[in-house]
């Protein structure tokens, strides 16, 4: 009888597991999913209660055969893919493939790849979770029904290769809606006034005007500002009140997936996708000098802030040793989860706090270290004493006006001490030579932070507040001297565009997607070409707006954030056993089918009719419509074919269409080779070209450079049985290249300039010029397999 088989999802985990399990188990990996719906058809029998047709994934036959071989004749198989819905599906599919009479399957949930985590999981095997599997299958069915039935509509009405998704389309809508808010925003003027004040003793400090006759003041324009200043110039500045509050600042909870992504994006400049990839490496195991790979963090896809009591006590021990007993809590601090949290896993934390960043640093690459440092500090800080801060607010009277100034004094650092001592950023810089990265305002509008609380330390920061302003000793009733009164004009800012971090936050707050899907959503909407990431902010492009508007018009429920969030709740309810899959699918599909039928008949065709605009054709005054062709979007006259006007266009900051001036030179250049009519210069998407005046009957075009004389190189064509010569040419877009003068009989072409010099190593009849910043100008051999190179 063969040994029991343990099946995991990732091949990387196999080595880590074998370190702890030794020879007692066979260990094999599925390398992700092994079964899925068919690629080229719907794969859902809607009339038969949405029965799904799952097939072995093409290219996974070798993996499946290895699983069968590893199973041998064992009667016990432990299914240990990731402890989430996707992992449950992989477990069920593996069981289907390896099903055999008398063979028993057990589900084990490994939340941390340590000896303790693996041993506990194997000691507590359970039956595969059919409710969790049903939730995954329902999600997959919903996504397939939406994607495979709406996407073909987009292919027919807009352009091929486009796609719609149950969640991705909602994310695009959120970005488009925000961009429209920005375009519709009209800035409003307002002013602020600050006074540089001097007490009996230095230093000078600044206070800002805040009230008039005890009420909050608003200064709308320069005229009002001047009136206020004229009163202040003769006013006496007197310290009115000094209020000191002692506040306790508690640390933030350990990371959940969304907060880890947001923090890594903001602090480390990682993308959400990169964050999850690096976290996966830390979870699956890294060699840290203990005789084999070891998992450094718990499972990284979670929406729960729950932590194990044992891990919390371990953290308290370390805190007492490193900082002293006053920094450690008397008992562990536990955090309450928000409503509707699945709570299947702990928060993201180090598997052992004694694996400090400084200890594991030599074994990690730069990215792994930076992310581990973030996770370790956040967890340890969560078990440290609160910081005690004296918050001072000073009110200063100047006639009927009130100025305020404030500041904080840290009485006891508490958890904040962690961020200034052990394994600090300076340790990282000493290893990697990095400087602290500056988060510049690059949004093109405003980089207002989505949160004013520093996620690392939990300290509130007020926008625009001067940090570390040193105040002199002040007393109530003390007179102050106004050295300078400074007015400053401002304008209100539009809402900021979404960064990856703020979009994840928006999705999370609206209940759209789940921890395992945020990174995929963000990468998908970019890959599909609906949005661009411009200086780290999402900006919808014209295609994104067009597709979004068509989908919102035809499928308003699908793109409604509330509807999408409710569907996520339904999936959660299926997983916890309070709802059945067939109920959810029937409720969804009945109205969706009606919408689909209506859209099939009535969705606007951007390929054909186009999207109407308010612009008139400059040639015939008929309406111009937005259309999409093989080269992208353009604007065209509805009077076609009688009027052939078309042009590229852009949009201004308000979203108004601006037609690009099209250059048309009606001077005859040559006769058309196809019909004999005159050819003239025109300008298209890729620059100037020659077009036949017989359009649309004759659609012949030529490169503007086709008639240019060829440049001789005195080099024979290197292709066998060709006696042509290599000449310099121009591409259709005006770029220099080199080809054979016997084209089209000979197809030789090269972007690099040939040089009449024989290769001393392989005997090639010529070399080519290449130039790089690193090597300068070089001559290289173009022959495959020959690496000869010489500097010029």
List active site positions: 299
Q: Which strand (E) or helix (H) includes residue 107?
A: strand 104-107
- Find residue 395's DSSP bridge partners: 241, 404
For residue 505, what are its two tokens? Answer: 């936050």
- Residue 744: asked if its preceding bond is cis (omega within 30°), the reply is yes
Tokens of 482: 């106004």
Choose among 302, 671, 269: nearest CA to 437.
Answer: 269
In 10 A of CB 46, how many CB atoms?
A: 14
Burial (Cβ within 10 Å: 0-12, 13-18, ≥19) of residue 263: buried
Secondary structure class of 82 (helix, strand, coil): coil
Radius of gyration of the CA atoms of the chain, in A: 34
Pairing of strands 623-629, 611-616: antiparallel
> What CA–CA distance (Å, rounded) separates 619 from 297?
67
What are the start-end ranges of the H helices in 361-495?
366-382, 425-432
Contacts by 672-677 with C-beta closer than 8 Å and gap 24+? 672/698, 672/700, 673/700, 673/702, 674/698, 674/700, 675/700
**Which of these, 89, 74, 79, 71, lies nearest to 35 by C-alpha position?**
89
Both structure tokens of 199: 């007490």
Sign of CA dihedral 445, 447, 450, 451: negative
Structure tokens at 691: 């077009």
In degrees, rounded to 5, the angle at the alpha carbon of residue 77 between the alpha carbons of residues 72 and 80 is 130
- Indicate the DSSP class of residue 634: E
Neighbour tally for 12: CB within 10 Å: 18
DSSP sequence for 22-68: TTSSEEEE--S-SEE--SSS--EEGGGTTEE--EEPTT-HHHHHHHH
């Amino acid at each position: 009888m063969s040994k029991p088989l343990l099946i995991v999802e990732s091949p990387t985990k196999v080595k880590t597991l074998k370190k702890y399990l030794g020879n007692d188990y066979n260990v094999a990996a599925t390398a992700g999913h092994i079964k899925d719906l068919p690629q080229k058809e719907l794969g859902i029998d809607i009339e038969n209660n949405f029965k799904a047709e799952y097939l072995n994934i093409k290219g996974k036959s070798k993996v499946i055969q290895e699983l069968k071989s590893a199973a041998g004749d064992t009667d016990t198989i432990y299914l240990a893919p990731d402890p989430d819905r996707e992992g449950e599906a992989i477990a069920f599919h593996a069981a289907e493939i390896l099903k055999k009479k008398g063979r028993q399957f057990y589900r084990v949930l490994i939340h941390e790849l340590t000896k303790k985590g693996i041993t506990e999981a194997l000691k507590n095997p359970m039956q595969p979770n059919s409710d969790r599997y049903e939730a995954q299958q329902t999600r997959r069915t919903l996504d397939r029904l939406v994607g495979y039935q709406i996407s073909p509509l987009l292919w027919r009405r807009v352009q091929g290769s486009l796609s719609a998704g149950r969640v991705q389309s909602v994310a695009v809508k959120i970005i488009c809606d925000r961009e429209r808010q920005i375009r519709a925003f009209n800035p409003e003027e307002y002013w602020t006034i600050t006074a540089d004040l001097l007490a009996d003793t230095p230093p000078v400090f600044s206070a800002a005007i805040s009230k008039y006759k005890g009420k909050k003041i608003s200064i709308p324009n320069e005229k009002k500002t001047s009136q206020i200043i004229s009163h202040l110039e003769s006013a006496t500045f007197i310290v009115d009140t000094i209020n000191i509050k002692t506040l306790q600042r508690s640390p933030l909870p350990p990371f959940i997936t969304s907060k880890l992504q947001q923090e890594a994006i903001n602090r480390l400049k990682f993308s959400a996708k990169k964050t999850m990839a690096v976290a996966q490496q830390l979870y699956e195991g890294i060699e840290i000098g203990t005789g084999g790979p070891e998992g450094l963090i718990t499972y990284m896809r979670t929406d729960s802030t729950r932590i194990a009591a044992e891990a919390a006590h371990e953290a308290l021990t370390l805190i007492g040793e490193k900082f002293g007993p006053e920094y450690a809590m008397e008992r562990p601090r536990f955090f309450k989860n928000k409503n509707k949290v699945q709570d299947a896993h702990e928060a993201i934390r180090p598997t052992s706090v004694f694996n400090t960043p400084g200890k594991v640093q030599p074994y990690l690459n730069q990215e792994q270290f930076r992310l581990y440092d973030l996770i370790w500090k956040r967890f340890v800080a969560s078990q440290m004493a609160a910081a005690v801060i004296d918050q001072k607010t000073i009110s200063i009277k100047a006639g009927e006006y009130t100025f305020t100034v404030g500041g904080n004094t840290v009485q006891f650092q508490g958890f904040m001490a962690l961020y200034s001592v052990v394994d600090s950023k300076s340790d990282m810089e000493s290893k990697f030579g990095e400087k602290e990265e500056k988060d510049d305002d690059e949004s093109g509008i405003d980089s207002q932070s989505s949160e004013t609380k520093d996620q690392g330390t939990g300290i509130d920061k007020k926008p625009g507040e001067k940090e570390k302003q040193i105040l002199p000793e002040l007393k109530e009733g003390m007179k102050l001297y106004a050295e300078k009164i400074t007015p400053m004009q401002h304008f209100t800012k539009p809402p900021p565009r979404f960064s990856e971090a703020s979009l994840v936050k928006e999705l999370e707050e609206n209940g759209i997607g789940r921890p395992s899907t945020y990174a995929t959503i963000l990468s998908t909407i970019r890959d599909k070409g609906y949005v661009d990431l411009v200086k780290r902010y999402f900006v919808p492009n014209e295609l994104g707006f067009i597709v979004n508007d068509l989908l919102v018009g035809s499928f308003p429920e699908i793109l409604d954030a509330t509807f999408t969030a409710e569907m996520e709740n339904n999936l959660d309810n299926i997983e916890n056993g309070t709802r059945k899959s067939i109920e959810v699918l029937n409720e969804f599909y009945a109205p969706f089918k009606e919408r689909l039928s209506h859209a099939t008949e009535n969705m606007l065709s951007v390929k054909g009719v186009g999207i109407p605009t308010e612009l008139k054709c400059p040639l015939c005054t008929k309406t111009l419509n937005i259309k999409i062709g093989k080269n992208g979007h353009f604007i065209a006259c509805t009077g076609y074919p009688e009027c052939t006007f078309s042009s590229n266009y852009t949009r201004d900051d308000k979203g108004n269409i601006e037609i690009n001036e099209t250059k048309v030179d009606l001077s005859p250049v040559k006769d058309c080779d196809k019909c004999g009519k005159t050819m003239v210069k025109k300008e298209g998407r890729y620059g100037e070209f020659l077009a036949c005046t017989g359009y649309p009957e004759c659609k012949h075009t030529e490169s503007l450079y086709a008639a240019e004389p060829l440049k001789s190189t005195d080099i024979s064509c290197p292709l066998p049985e060709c006696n042509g010569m290599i000449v310099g040419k121009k591409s259709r877009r005006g770029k220099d290249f080199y080809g054979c003068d016997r084209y089209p009989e000979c197809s030789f072409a090269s972007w690099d300039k040939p040089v009449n010099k024989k290769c001393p190593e392989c005997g090639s009849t010529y070399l080519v010029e290449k130039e790089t910043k690193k090597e300068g100008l070089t001559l290289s051999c173009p022959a495959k397999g020959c690496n000869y190179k010489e500097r010029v």
